[in-house]
Amino acid sequence: MSASNSPRDRAVQNMFDRIAGRYDLLNHLISFRLDVRWRHHAIRQILTGGNSLILDIGTGTGDLAFNAVKEAKGNARIVGLDFSLQMLKRARVKQVTSRQGVNTTFVMGSAMASPFRDDSFDGAMTAFVLRNVSDLSLLFAETFRVLKPGAKFVSLDMFPPSTGWFSTFYSVYFYSWVPRIGGILSKDSNAYRYLSESVRQFQTPENVEKLIERAGFANVTTRKFMSGAVCMHVAEKSPMVKA
Protein backbone atom coordinates (compact mmCIF):
# COMPACT_ATOMS: atom_id res chain seq x y z
CA MET A 1 0.00 0.00 0.00
CA SER A 2 1.13 3.53 -0.69
CA ALA A 3 -0.50 5.83 1.83
CA SER A 4 0.65 8.95 0.04
CA ASN A 5 1.65 9.75 -3.51
CA SER A 6 4.42 12.18 -2.71
CA PRO A 7 7.89 10.82 -3.58
CA ARG A 8 9.18 12.04 -0.22
CA ASP A 9 6.50 10.12 1.69
CA ARG A 10 7.20 6.98 -0.29
CA ALA A 11 10.92 7.31 0.41
CA VAL A 12 10.24 7.69 4.16
CA GLN A 13 7.82 4.76 4.13
CA ASN A 14 10.39 2.54 2.34
CA MET A 15 13.15 3.62 4.68
CA PHE A 16 11.19 2.66 7.80
CA ASP A 17 10.25 -0.64 6.14
CA ARG A 18 13.97 -1.33 5.66
CA ILE A 19 15.15 -0.45 9.17
CA ALA A 20 12.17 -1.87 11.12
CA GLY A 21 14.10 -4.94 12.32
CA ARG A 22 16.77 -2.88 14.12
CA TYR A 23 14.67 0.17 14.95
CA ASP A 24 14.03 -0.47 18.67
CA LEU A 25 17.61 -1.44 19.48
CA LEU A 26 19.07 1.57 17.69
CA ASN A 27 16.53 3.95 19.15
CA HIS A 28 17.46 3.06 22.74
CA LEU A 29 21.17 2.92 21.94
CA ILE A 30 21.41 6.25 20.16
CA SER A 31 19.39 8.09 22.83
CA PHE A 32 21.11 6.26 25.74
CA ARG A 33 17.58 5.11 26.66
CA LEU A 34 16.56 8.72 27.35
CA ASP A 35 13.72 8.15 24.86
CA VAL A 36 12.03 6.05 27.56
CA ARG A 37 11.95 9.05 29.92
CA TRP A 38 10.74 11.50 27.23
CA ARG A 39 7.96 9.10 26.24
CA HIS A 40 6.93 8.90 29.90
CA HIS A 41 6.56 12.73 30.03
CA ALA A 42 4.39 12.66 26.89
CA ILE A 43 2.21 9.85 28.22
CA ARG A 44 1.63 11.69 31.51
CA GLN A 45 0.27 14.63 29.53
CA ILE A 46 -2.17 12.57 27.54
CA LEU A 47 -3.63 10.25 30.18
CA THR A 48 -6.62 11.94 31.74
CA GLY A 49 -7.39 9.35 34.37
CA GLY A 50 -10.70 8.42 32.76
CA ASN A 51 -11.28 5.62 30.30
CA SER A 52 -9.95 7.02 27.07
CA LEU A 53 -9.32 6.20 23.43
CA ILE A 54 -6.00 7.61 22.29
CA LEU A 55 -4.46 7.82 18.84
CA ASP A 56 -0.71 7.23 18.49
CA ILE A 57 0.30 8.87 15.21
CA GLY A 58 3.28 7.23 13.47
CA THR A 59 3.24 4.48 16.08
CA GLY A 60 6.11 2.58 14.46
CA THR A 61 6.89 -0.53 16.52
CA GLY A 62 4.38 0.65 19.14
CA ASP A 63 6.67 1.61 22.04
CA LEU A 64 4.71 4.73 22.95
CA ALA A 65 1.41 2.86 22.63
CA PHE A 66 2.44 -0.07 24.85
CA ASN A 67 3.98 2.22 27.47
CA ALA A 68 0.80 4.32 27.54
CA VAL A 69 -1.36 1.23 28.08
CA LYS A 70 0.93 0.17 30.91
CA GLU A 71 0.85 3.59 32.60
CA ALA A 72 -2.93 3.86 32.16
CA LYS A 73 -3.41 0.63 34.15
CA GLY A 74 -6.29 -0.56 32.00
CA ASN A 75 -7.92 2.89 31.60
CA ALA A 76 -6.90 3.53 28.01
CA ARG A 77 -7.13 1.94 24.61
CA ILE A 78 -4.53 3.01 22.09
CA VAL A 79 -4.94 2.98 18.32
CA GLY A 80 -1.54 3.04 16.59
CA LEU A 81 -1.49 4.49 13.07
CA ASP A 82 1.46 4.10 10.71
CA PHE A 83 2.14 3.83 6.99
CA SER A 84 5.08 1.42 7.28
CA LEU A 85 3.91 -2.18 7.07
CA GLN A 86 7.19 -3.55 8.44
CA MET A 87 7.13 -1.25 11.49
CA LEU A 88 3.53 -2.30 12.13
CA LYS A 89 4.46 -5.98 11.84
CA ARG A 90 6.95 -5.44 14.69
CA ALA A 91 4.22 -3.75 16.72
CA ARG A 92 1.91 -6.70 16.09
CA VAL A 93 4.52 -9.19 17.32
CA LYS A 94 4.74 -7.20 20.58
CA GLN A 95 0.95 -7.01 20.68
CA VAL A 96 0.58 -10.78 20.89
CA THR A 97 3.50 -11.28 23.26
CA SER A 98 2.99 -8.41 25.72
CA ARG A 99 0.38 -8.05 28.46
CA GLN A 100 -0.43 -4.55 27.15
CA GLY A 101 -1.39 -5.97 23.74
CA VAL A 102 -5.09 -6.37 24.53
CA ASN A 103 -5.63 -2.63 24.77
CA THR A 104 -3.97 -1.79 21.47
CA THR A 105 -5.12 -1.78 17.86
CA PHE A 106 -2.81 -1.09 14.92
CA VAL A 107 -3.98 0.47 11.68
CA MET A 108 -2.06 1.05 8.46
CA GLY A 109 -2.60 4.46 6.92
CA SER A 110 -1.28 7.97 6.49
CA ALA A 111 -1.39 10.55 9.24
CA MET A 112 -2.06 13.14 6.54
CA ALA A 113 -5.25 11.37 5.48
CA SER A 114 -6.25 9.92 8.82
CA PRO A 115 -8.62 6.97 8.31
CA PHE A 116 -10.88 7.95 11.25
CA ARG A 117 -14.11 9.89 11.70
CA ASP A 118 -14.28 13.45 13.05
CA ASP A 119 -14.24 13.76 16.86
CA SER A 120 -13.23 10.12 17.46
CA PHE A 121 -10.41 10.29 20.05
CA ASP A 122 -10.01 11.51 23.63
CA GLY A 123 -6.34 12.29 22.96
CA ALA A 124 -3.61 12.03 20.34
CA MET A 125 0.12 11.60 20.79
CA THR A 126 3.07 11.28 18.48
CA ALA A 127 6.79 10.67 18.99
CA PHE A 128 9.63 11.34 16.55
CA VAL A 129 7.33 11.59 13.56
CA LEU A 130 7.03 15.29 12.64
CA ARG A 131 10.42 15.51 10.89
CA ASN A 132 9.37 12.75 8.54
CA VAL A 133 6.12 14.28 7.38
CA SER A 134 5.94 16.14 4.07
CA ASP A 135 3.02 18.40 5.07
CA LEU A 136 3.00 19.24 8.76
CA SER A 137 0.01 21.58 8.46
CA LEU A 138 -2.03 18.73 7.02
CA LEU A 139 -0.92 16.35 9.77
CA PHE A 140 -1.97 18.85 12.47
CA ALA A 141 -5.27 19.57 10.67
CA GLU A 142 -6.05 15.85 10.47
CA THR A 143 -5.12 15.38 14.13
CA PHE A 144 -7.41 18.26 15.09
CA ARG A 145 -10.26 16.80 13.03
CA VAL A 146 -10.19 13.34 14.64
CA LEU A 147 -9.98 14.67 18.22
CA LYS A 148 -13.06 15.26 20.36
CA PRO A 149 -13.58 18.82 21.62
CA GLY A 150 -11.58 19.25 24.84
CA ALA A 151 -9.05 16.54 23.86
CA LYS A 152 -5.30 16.98 24.18
CA PHE A 153 -2.55 16.54 21.59
CA VAL A 154 1.07 15.89 22.60
CA SER A 155 4.06 15.65 20.31
CA LEU A 156 7.67 14.73 21.05
CA ASP A 157 10.40 15.31 18.51
CA MET A 158 14.02 16.16 17.92
CA PHE A 159 15.06 19.66 16.87
CA PRO A 160 18.36 21.38 16.17
CA PRO A 161 19.45 22.33 19.72
CA SER A 162 19.89 25.94 20.82
CA THR A 163 23.40 27.35 20.53
CA GLY A 164 26.03 26.82 23.23
CA TRP A 165 28.49 24.16 24.35
CA PHE A 166 25.84 21.47 24.30
CA SER A 167 25.01 22.22 20.69
CA THR A 168 28.67 21.75 19.70
CA PHE A 169 28.92 18.44 21.55
CA TYR A 170 25.55 17.31 20.20
CA SER A 171 26.45 18.24 16.62
CA VAL A 172 29.54 16.04 16.71
CA TYR A 173 27.63 13.16 18.25
CA PHE A 174 24.39 13.39 16.33
CA TYR A 175 25.53 14.59 12.93
CA SER A 176 28.73 12.58 12.76
CA TRP A 177 28.63 9.55 15.07
CA VAL A 178 24.96 8.58 14.87
CA PRO A 179 25.02 8.03 11.05
CA ARG A 180 28.10 5.82 11.49
CA ILE A 181 26.80 3.77 14.42
CA GLY A 182 23.33 3.50 12.86
CA GLY A 183 24.80 2.63 9.47
CA ILE A 184 26.93 -0.19 10.87
CA LEU A 185 24.21 -1.71 13.07
CA SER A 186 21.30 -1.35 10.64
CA LYS A 187 23.46 -1.95 7.56
CA ASP A 188 21.65 1.04 6.07
CA SER A 189 23.87 4.10 6.29
CA ASN A 190 21.49 6.15 4.12
CA ALA A 191 18.71 5.75 6.69
CA TYR A 192 20.81 7.08 9.57
CA ARG A 193 22.28 9.87 7.45
CA TYR A 194 18.68 10.80 6.72
CA LEU A 195 17.89 10.77 10.45
CA SER A 196 20.70 13.24 11.19
CA GLU A 197 19.83 15.46 8.25
CA SER A 198 16.14 15.49 9.12
CA VAL A 199 17.04 16.98 12.51
CA ARG A 200 19.58 19.45 11.12
CA GLN A 201 17.07 20.74 8.56
CA PHE A 202 13.99 20.69 10.77
CA GLN A 203 11.99 23.77 11.75
CA THR A 204 12.39 25.53 15.07
CA PRO A 205 10.13 24.44 17.95
CA GLU A 206 8.59 27.94 17.82
CA ASN A 207 7.54 27.43 14.18
CA VAL A 208 6.04 24.06 15.01
CA GLU A 209 4.12 25.72 17.85
CA LYS A 210 2.68 28.24 15.35
CA LEU A 211 1.67 25.49 12.91
CA ILE A 212 -0.13 23.64 15.71
CA GLU A 213 -1.98 26.85 16.59
CA ARG A 214 -2.88 27.48 12.95
CA ALA A 215 -4.53 24.05 12.80
CA GLY A 216 -7.00 25.34 15.42
CA PHE A 217 -5.44 24.11 18.66
CA ALA A 218 -5.44 26.28 21.80
CA ASN A 219 -3.14 26.51 24.84
CA VAL A 220 -0.09 25.34 22.91
CA THR A 221 3.01 24.96 25.09
CA THR A 222 6.55 23.78 24.41
CA ARG A 223 8.79 22.02 26.90
CA LYS A 224 12.45 21.64 26.02
CA PHE A 225 14.74 18.77 27.04
CA MET A 226 18.51 18.74 26.54
CA SER A 227 18.81 22.41 25.46
CA GLY A 228 15.96 21.97 23.04
CA ALA A 229 17.39 18.92 21.23
CA VAL A 230 14.11 17.23 22.13
CA CYS A 231 10.88 19.20 22.57
CA MET A 232 7.44 18.28 23.74
CA HIS A 233 4.51 20.29 22.36
CA VAL A 234 1.20 20.05 24.20
CA ALA A 235 -2.05 21.51 22.82
CA GLU A 236 -5.81 21.32 23.29
CA LYS A 237 -8.81 21.24 21.00
CA SER A 238 -11.04 23.76 22.68
CA PRO A 239 -14.13 22.16 24.34
CA MET A 240 -16.47 24.39 22.26
CA VAL A 241 -14.99 23.56 18.84
CA LYS A 242 -16.22 21.00 16.35
CA ALA A 243 -13.84 19.56 13.67
Ligand X SMILES: C[S@@+](CC[C@H](N)C(=O)[O-])C[C@H]1O[C@@H](n2cnc3c(N)ncnc32)[C@H](O)[C@@H]1O
3-state secondary structure string, 46-113?
Answer: HCCCCCEEEEEECCCCCHHHHHHHHHHCCCEEEEEEECCHHHHHHHHHHHHHCHHHHHEEEEECCHHH
Task: Pick the closer one to ligand X by CB: 122 or 142.
Answer: 142
For ligand X, the closer of residues 37 and 164 by Cβ is 37
Among 60, 101, 160, 182, binds ligand X (CB under 6 A): 60
Distances (CA, A) of 44 to 72, 112, 118, 120, 205: 9, 25, 24, 21, 20
Q: Given phi > 0 = left and psi -120 to 50 = alpha, else beta, which region is 216?
A: left
Report the C-alpha gap between 95 and 100 in whole angstroms: 7
Rounded CA separation 39/127 (Å): 8
Least distance (Å) between residue 120 CB and ligand X: 16
Residues in binding contact with ligand X, number by CB under 6 A:
24
Taking Cα atoms as reference points, which of 111, 13, 119, 24 lies closest to residue 62? 24
CB of 122 to ligand X, least distance (A): 19
Select 14 or 165, whichever has its Cβ closest to ligand X. Answer: 14
Q: How far is the CB of 239 from ligand X (least distance, A)?
A: 27
Please identify which residue in 42, 46, 47, 87 interacts with ligand X, judged by CB under 6 A.
87
Q: DSSP character for 173?
A: I
3-class DSSP state of 18: helix
Work out whether 129 is an interface residue with ligand X (CB under 6 A).
Answer: yes
CB of 193 to ligand X, least distance (A): 15
Q: Is 31 in the site for ligand X (CB under 6 A)?
A: no
Span near ligand X by CB under 6 A; candidates 45-53, 96-104, 126-134, 161-169: 126-134
Q: If binding is defined by CB under 6 A, does position 82 make contact with ligand X?
A: yes
Instruction: State the pairing for strand pair 76-82/52-57.
Output: parallel
Q: Is 59 in the site for ligand X (CB under 6 A)?
A: yes
Give the one residue of 76, 133, 146, 215 binding ligand X; rule: CB under 6 A: 133
Number of Cβ within 10 Å of residue 31's Cβ equals 18
84 binding ligand X? (CB under 6 A): yes
Q: Of 181 and 241, which CB lies nearer to ligand X in the complex structure?
A: 181
Q: Among 83, 144, 170, 217, which residue sits at the site for ligand X (rule: CB under 6 A)?
A: 83
Cβ closer to ligand X: 24 or 241?
24
Binding site for ligand X (CB under 6 A): 3, 9, 12-13, 16, 27, 58-60, 63-64, 81-84, 87, 110-112, 127-129, 132-133
